[in-house]
Amino acid sequence: NAGVTQTPKFQVLKTGQSMTLQCAQDMNHNSMYWYRQDPGMGLRLIYYSASEGTTDKGEVPNGYNVSRLNKREFSLRLESAAPSQTSVYFCASSANGVSPLHFGNGTRLTVT
Amino acid sequence: AQSVAQPEDQVNVAEGNPLTVKCTYSVSGNPYLFWYVQYPNRGLQFLLKYITGDNLVKGSYGFEAEFNKSQTSFHLKKPSALVSDSALYFCAVKNAGNMLTFGGGTRLMVKP
């Protein structure tokens, strides 16, 4: 049982490049989330999907787009990367609104 | 808007001594409160949650937390700390909506 799988684990981009972070869960969870983690700031919600077919903005959505491809997969896209997007990105899933979140191991992104 | 405060960036405790990691929150309506732990280069792992019921909640690895409505606090505690408890701890809160808000994290250092 893999849980939440994120790819890639590491990525270096130049300013202006684009990329997609992939996330898949095998727990049949309804809700999926994308967070970014920066030192001293905890985790901040970028986008979430409460159920298949829906997506909503979180606290820091600017510069990002998401796609809930199916119940298993939730991708995060950076259309034009900026140095301010250097961060560690975590995908998470949960069965419902009060269930605990299950996290992937993160993607460490550096934008130069 | 909901928020979480973890007033201590770092907590130092000797192995075998009791530990407390502090958390206060602000949210409208009834709070759903969570504690997560993060080990190096890993995603967050769920420790325990308070939804309703008894104010003292027991979780994984011997941790517990006490919900105090009047002080809007949800402090994490353990009677006897282990070196292996050294990690980054996050408190989080949500209400009936889907957005979970995290605190900035507290680094726990347990020394032999």
Q: Residues A48-83: pLDDT tens digits?
A: 999 998 999 999 999 999 999 899 999 999 999 999
Q: Residues B64-84: pLDDT tens digits?
A: 999 999 999 999 999 999 999
Q: Which of residues 43-102 of A touch B (CB under 8 A)?
A: 43-45, 48, 50, 56, 58-59, 90, 92, 97-98, 100-102
CA angle (B57, A91, A19) in 5-degree steps: 165
Q: Provide the pLDDT for residue A78.
A: 97
Q: Provide the pLDDT for residue B30.
A: 87
Integer CA distances (angstroms), B33 to B9, B85, B88, in order: 20, 21, 17
Residue A42 with chain B: CB contacts under 8 Å: 4, 90, 102-105
CA angle (A43, A68, B38) in 5-degree steps: 25
Quick check: A90 and B46 CB within 8 A? no
Q: Provide the pLDDT for residue B98.
A: 62
> Which of A72, A70, A26, A77 shows the shortest CA–CA distance to A47?
A77
As a whole number, mean pLDDT of residues B14-25 equals 98
* Three-state DSSP string of chain A: CCCEEEECCEEEECCCCCEEEEEEECCCCCEEEEEEECCCCCEEEEEEECCCCCCEECCCCCCEEEEECCCCEEEEEECCCCHHHCEEEEEEEECCCCCCCEECCCEEEEEC
Quick check: A103 and B43 CB within 8 A? yes
Quick check: B94 and A102 CB within 8 A? no
Quick check: A98 and B32 CB within 8 A? yes
Query: Cβ distance A27 to A100 under 8 Å?
Result: no
Q: What is the mean pLDDT of chain A?
A: 94
Residue A100 pLDDT greater than 70, yes or no: yes
